[in-house]
């Protein structure tokens, strides 16, 4: 069963100029990361390059990490679209265990590809947001289908997501991760999921 969105009323529409500024800032930030590297992107530099006031940039992103969070969020949305409506086994239509294995493999590839953004989006003043992302919801949903008794408390899903995403964000220093390491992580994920589902 796929997640169903709950309607909480009409969201406030973003003003047209604010939406344009947001799209422009994200595009300029993406260009700066590609050209200069994430460590050289600053709030002041983004404002100057975008031709907007510093106040506009600070209101939009609040912190430097907020710039990268916005960039990563754009990529995350594309990934989640593949999970929710792409072809199986990543998308709907395959058994839960197959989908979990496919999800882990695809997620590892996604995180390796976007390691620089993912790491830069972490705000050092805030806890690592393992428990409130779409990955946790998706893994919990599939575990409920594959092994409902083991999945009931929700802690198993949390541990699996932490095992999946933690090594990438903590240990890989750049998007140039050695492919044997990624292959090993993917194989280990499959073993972990299959053993959990069989227990």
Query: Hey, is 195 helix, strand or coil?
Result: helix
Distance CA 105, CA 193 (A): 11
DSSP E strand stretches across 63-146: none
Q: What pLDDT, on a 0 to 100 scale, did the predictor assign at position 1?
A: 45
Residue 183, pLDDT score: 84
- Is residue 56 predicted with pLDDT exceeding 50? yes
Distance CA 109, CA 182 (A): 8
Dist CA 37 CA 71 (whole Å):
13
Q: Is the pLDDT of residue 112 over 90?
A: no
Mean pLDDT computed over 9-29: 77
Closest C-alpha among 154, 123, 111, 126 to residue 61? 123
Residue 20 has pLDDT above 80, yes or no: yes
What's the average model confidence in pLDDT over 105-120?
Answer: 86
**What is the predicted pLDDT for the residue at 11?**
45
For residue 89, what pLDDT is reported?
Answer: 97
Q: Which two tokens stand for residue 143?
A: 């575990």
> Cα–Cα distance between 49 and 91 in angstroms, integer?
39
Mean of pLDDT over the chain = 83
Instruction: Give tens-digit pLDDT for 65-111.
Output: 999 999 999 999 999 999 999 999 999 999 999 999 999 999 988 98
pLDDT band at 131 (very low <50, low <70, confident <90, very high): low
pLDDT band at 17 (very low <50, low <70, confident <90, very high): confident
Q: What would the mean pLDDT of 5-34 be, rounded to a whole number?
A: 75
5 has a pLDDT exceeding 50: no
Residue 120: the pLDDT is 84
pLDDT tens digits for 140-175?
A: 999 999 999 888 888 999 989 988 886 666 665 544
CB atoms within 10 A of CB 193: 25
């Amino acid at each position: 069963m796929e997640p169903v969105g709950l309607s909480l009323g009409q969201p406030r529409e973003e003003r047209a100029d604010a939406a344009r500024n947001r799209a422009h800032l994200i595009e300029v930030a993406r260009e700066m990361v590609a050209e200069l590297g994430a460590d050289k992107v600053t709030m002041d530099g983004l404002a100057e390059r975008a031709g907007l006031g510093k106040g506009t940039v600070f209101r939009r992103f609040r912190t430097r990490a907020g710039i990268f969070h916005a960039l990563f969020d754009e990529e995350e949305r594309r990934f989640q679209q593949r999970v929710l409506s792409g072809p199986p086994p990543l998308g709907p239509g395959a058994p839960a265990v197959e989908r979990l294995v496919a999800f882990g493999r695809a997620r590892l590839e996604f995180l390796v590809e976007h390691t620089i953004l993912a790491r830069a989006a972490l705000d050092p003043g805030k806890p690592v947001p393992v428990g409130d992302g779409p990955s946790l919801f998706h893994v919990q949903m599939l575990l409920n289908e594959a092994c409902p008794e083991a999945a009931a408390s929700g802690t198993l899903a949390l541990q699996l997501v932490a095992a999946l995403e933690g090594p990438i964000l903590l240990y890989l220093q750049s998007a140039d991760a050695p492919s044997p390491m990624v292959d090993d992580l993917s194989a280990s994920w499959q073993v972990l999921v299959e053993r959990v589902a069989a227990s």
